[in-house]
Structure 1
Amino acid sequence: MRECWLTLDAQALLHNLAVMREHMPEARLLAMVKADAYGHGIAQVAPLLADHADGLGVACMSEALALRAQGVKGNITVMQGVFNAEELATARAQYLTLVVHSPEQLDLFEATESSRPLAVWLKINTGMNRLGFRPAQALMAWRRLGNCVGVHRLGIAAHFACADEPVLAMTDQQLGRFRALQQALSAEKGTSVAGSLANSAGVLAWPEAADEWMRPGIALYGSSPFADRSAADFDLRPVMTLHARVVSVFTVPAGERVGYGASWLAERSTRIAVVSIGYGDGYPRHAPTGTPVLIAGRRYELVGRVSMDMITVKVDGSVNVGDEVVLWGQGLPVDEIASAAGTISYELFCRLTARVRRPSQPLELAETPIADAEAEHG
């Protein structure tokens, strides 16, 4: 069996969720588990989160249906919505919450009548220019959705483009556009309109983005959404730790080179450890010489190019074949590795391949789950 595996820390996951609630205590929490729970394993992570969050957020119908098939109840929100009548009927049958972000989706709702209750978020494009209705178009879209049979709970949602840059004026601009629309809709409706704005960065750095729902993602998994502030600054703990083994140790004479492209030169006689992980497992090929790794709890530096199946590490005489290696996680922040490799933790998590051995069972479930989805939909 290949000696490359990951472990997941259930207590860290619940701790990070509690940190999010501390920042926005009045908001309900939609825990994002899209993209295989940011590479952590949706089957392993989602049941635990379903028992402690107020809902789960996924990107697409296939992710939502996989959760229902696994037995996950409660609110599941499909952030990209549905794209045909069959998907819409399935969403109703499975008591899913849907985001509506396009005229085509509006047409689909109007063409499909059903009295089965459906909760909906209208997506507003406040400046990110990816999905959603511009504020000037949103009032008409709101009215059309409100007239659709079966839509019993309707709110508005938006997505920040730059909330991870707290001094940037764009987030203030997006907030202003969203609040102006929310106030106009509330005045027309005669009651408050639910909103959802805050992703992880929004929760941690923009208290004015608090609304009925928050949608943290990366912070739940123990990574900072900010380039200039660490996860530890927010008391976030790593959920995933990526492990491998030392499979060989040898000495390279002074003047010789290591790895593909002979990119690293041993200026003096150097002890090298070969570790059982490479870009075939999802470790970033562009991680440069000097990227840190932990071997038996001590920090060392990667040297030379990352291979498909192996990396080479400059070590001392205390390292031996069979020693455990941590590539990121407990004791070595993933954000540090991401920075060294010129990327973000999201990508490192999501690029792990099937060769990495994973927990086979869901993380331990809590004893008191939230209400099931049928009750949530009335």
Structure 2
Amino acid sequence: MRPARALIDLGALQDNYLLARRLGGGKAVAVIKADAYGHGAVHCARALEGIADAFGVACIEEAIELREAGISAPILLLEGFLDADELPLIDRYAFWTAVASPWQRDALARYTPAAPLHVWLKLDSGMHRLGLSPDDFARALQQLSSDPKIGSVVAMSHLARADELDSDFSETQRQVFEAATRDFTGPTSFNNSPALLGWPGIRSDWVRPGLMLYGANPFPLDAPIPHVLRPVMQLESKVIAVRDLPAGEAVGYGARFTAPVPMRIGVVAMGYADGYPQLAPNGTPVVVDGVATRLIGRVSMDMLTVDLTDLPQAGVGSAVVFWGHQPLPTPSQIAQACGTSGYALLCGIKRVRRDYIAAPAAAATRDPAAAHALG
């Protein structure tokens, strides 16, 4: 069996969720779209059910997968329905749906559900992606709030630059959102992961943690964030061959690395088809048998090579870890080294086997403040 695997710590996932909810001060939608950012949506939802107030997904296919796996908690379609024909499915499975475009608002007005629907109405406060303009939002908010076909309404928006701590645009968006909801007495939702971690002055009744659930930092690594996140995924594999490389010889495609001296190299069962970044540079940190070393040569589809010159004990079968809990390289550190983001890094994981570390019992009673010491 191919040794590449992602080891998923479900207890760490729970602790990160509890931290997000504590920071938000209200309720929290656990965002598990894109197969829980590469961690396995069904397993993650099962670990969080009974703790999470609701789950957030991108599309109805992701939502149906969770329902059919037995998840009974509320599930929010963050982009809403993508075709009016999905409304009967939203009704049947009791999903919550965003309304983020005029055509969705109009389609919803024409539909008669079997039970009142729960709607999250989205304001475009400056992202300029999805969301109604302030004028349209105000009219729709009033209409939905008085419509007997609608069971509840949450007013929501999305921050465009919350991961930029030196930008004042998040404050600008906050002002737009608060102005648009000034006369609305229902619940609001505004904060994503970077807002929760870096903008404590921005508050909302419902928060929507995504990346932080999986223990990755949404900010540059030198940002002064006091909260400790627990990486949920440990990506690992094994050495499958060892080669002696004479000085002056290159390894891998494109001769990107040439040995300056005689070297001993390990070939590892991990490649870009598994989701490891193809453009990871020479020197990207890896850990072999618990000892720090480096990637050398270009990452290929199924294999990559690491420097074993100073690791005489390492050989075929040696354990290789690419990221995980400190003192291992974290996903955020590897993402920065590879010129990508934690979002893309984790969502790109595929083909590798996923094994799960079960969460401790009574997770809902654990103190997130104790689980996440403040630095």
> Given the two structures, how large is their TM-score scaled by the length of structure 2?
0.91
For residues 167 and 234 of structure 2, what CA distance do their matches in structure 1 show?
Answer: 33
For residues 335 and 238 of structure 2, what CA distance do their matches in structure 1 show?
Answer: 21
Would the alpha carbon gap of residues 44 and 221 (structure 1) be closer, same or farther in structure 2, given more than 3 Å must change? same
For residues 252 and 241 of structure 2, what CA distance do their matches in structure 1 show?
Answer: 14
Query: Conserved in 2, the CA contact under 8 Å of 1:45 and 1:363?
Result: no
For residues 14 and 298 of structure 2, what CA distance do their matches in structure 1 show?
Answer: 37
**One-letter code of the match for 2:171?**
D
Would the alpha carbon gap of residues 149 and 363 (structure 1) be closer, same or farther in structure 2, given more than 3 Å must change? farther
For residues 253 and 163 of structure 2, what CA distance do their matches in structure 1 show?
Answer: 36
For residues 100 and 145 of structure 1, what CA distance do their matches in structure 2 show?
Answer: 10
1:364 Cα shift?
5.0
Aligned to 1:276: 269
Aligned to 1:320: 315
Would the alpha carbon gap of residues 231 and 238 (structure 1) be closer, same or farther in structure 2, given more than 3 Å must change? farther
For residues 171 and 248 of structure 1, what CA distance do their matches in structure 2 show?
Answer: 50
1:288 partnered with 2:281? yes
Query: Conserved in 1, the CA contact under 8 Å of 2:286 and 2:322?
Result: yes
Show CA shifts across 1:78-106 (max 9, x none).
11111344311221221111100111111
Query: Conserved in 2, the CA contact under 8 Å of 1:222 and 1:231?
Result: no
**One-letter code of the match for 2:315?**
N
For residues 275 and 197 of structure 2, what CA distance do their matches in structure 1 show?
Answer: 29
Query: Conserved in 1, the CA contact under 8 Å of 2:191 and 2:202?
Result: yes
1:350 partnered with 2:347? yes
For residues 98 and 11 of structure 1, what CA distance do their matches in structure 2 show?
Answer: 29
1:363 Cα shift?
4.8
Aligned to 2:5: 5
For residues 104 and 49 of structure 2, what CA distance do their matches in structure 1 show?
Answer: 27
Residue range with higher mean Cα deviation, 225-234 or 322-331: 225-234
For residues 310 and 228 of structure 1, what CA distance do their matches in structure 2 show?
Answer: 28
Aligned to 1:374: none
Aligned to 1:337: 334
Would the alpha carbon gap of residues 256 and 216 (structure 1) be closer, same or farther in structure 2, given more than 3 Å must change? same
Aligned to 1:106: 105
Aligned to 2:126: 127
- For residues 207-286 of structure 1, the aligned pairs below 5 Å read 207-229=200-222, 233-286=226-279
For residues 222 and 49 of structure 2, what CA distance do their matches in structure 1 show?
Answer: 29
Query: Conserved in 1, the CA contact under 8 Å of 2:96 and 2:117?
Result: yes
1:347 Cα shift?
0.9
Aligned to 1:372: none
Aligned to 2:61: 62
Query: Conserved in 1, the CA contact under 8 Å of 2:91 and 2:114?
Result: no
**One-letter code of the match for 2:321?**
V
Query: Conserved in 2, the CA contact under 8 Å of 1:200 and 1:217?
Result: yes
For residues 77 and 142 of structure 1, what CA distance do their matches in structure 2 show?
Answer: 18
1:233 Cα shift?
4.8
1:250 Cα shift?
2.1
For residues 178 and 224 of structure 2, what CA distance do their matches in structure 1 show?
Answer: 30
Query: Conserved in 1, the CA contact under 8 Å of 2:242 and 2:316?
Result: yes
Gaps of 5+ in 2: 365-375
**One-letter code of the match for 2:9?**
D
**One-letter code of the match for 1:240?**
M
Query: Conserved in 2, the CA contact under 8 Å of 1:223 and 1:334?
Result: yes
Secondary structure at 1:63 match in 2: helix
Secondary structure at 1:51 match in 2: coil
Residue range with higher mean Cα deviation, 345-354 or 239-248: 345-354
For residues 95 and 335 of structure 2, what CA distance do their matches in structure 1 show?
Answer: 34
**One-letter code of the match for 1:352?**
I
Would the alpha carbon gap of residues 4 and 95 (structure 1) be closer, same or farther in structure 2, given more than 3 Å must change? same
- For residues 100-179 of structure 1, the aligned pairs below 5 Å read 100-114=99-113, 116-179=115-178
Secondary structure at 2:191 match in 1: coil
Matched residue count = 360
For residues 72 and 364 of structure 1, what CA distance do their matches in structure 2 show?
Answer: 17
RMSD of Structure 2 on Structure 1 (CA):
1.9
For residues 164 and 333 of structure 1, what CA distance do their matches in structure 2 show?
Answer: 18
Aligned to 1:31: 30
Query: Conserved in 1, the CA contact under 8 Å of 2:42 and 2:69?
Result: yes
For residues 206 and 197 of structure 1, what CA distance do their matches in structure 2 show?
Answer: 11
1:169 Cα shift?
1.1
Aligned to 1:82: 81
Secondary structure at 2:354 match in 1: coil
Secondary structure at 2:124 match in 1: coil
Show CA shifts across 1:59-84 (max 9, x none).
11111111100000111111111134
Secondary structure at 1:207 match in 2: coil
For residues 50 and 231 of structure 1, what CA distance do their matches in structure 2 show?
Answer: 32
For residues 68 and 368 of structure 1, what CA distance do their matches in structure 2 show?
Answer: 22
Q: Aligned residues: percent identity?
A: 39
Query: Conserved in 2, the CA contact under 8 Å of 1:47 and 1:362?
Result: no
1:16 Cα shift?
1.1
**One-letter code of the match for 1:94?**
Y
Show CA shifts across 1:325-372 (max 9, x none).
111113220111111110011111111122x0113x795596699xxx
Secondary structure at 1:287 match in 2: coil
For residues 154 and 109 of structure 1, what CA distance do their matches in structure 2 show?
Answer: 13
Would the alpha carbon gap of residues 44 and 304 (structure 1) be closer, same or farther in structure 2, given more than 3 Å must change? same
Residue range with higher mean Cα deviation, 113-122 or 213-222: 113-122
**One-letter code of the match for 1:8?**
I
Aligned to 1:197: 190
Query: Conserved in 1, the CA contact under 8 Å of 2:221 and 2:333?
Result: no
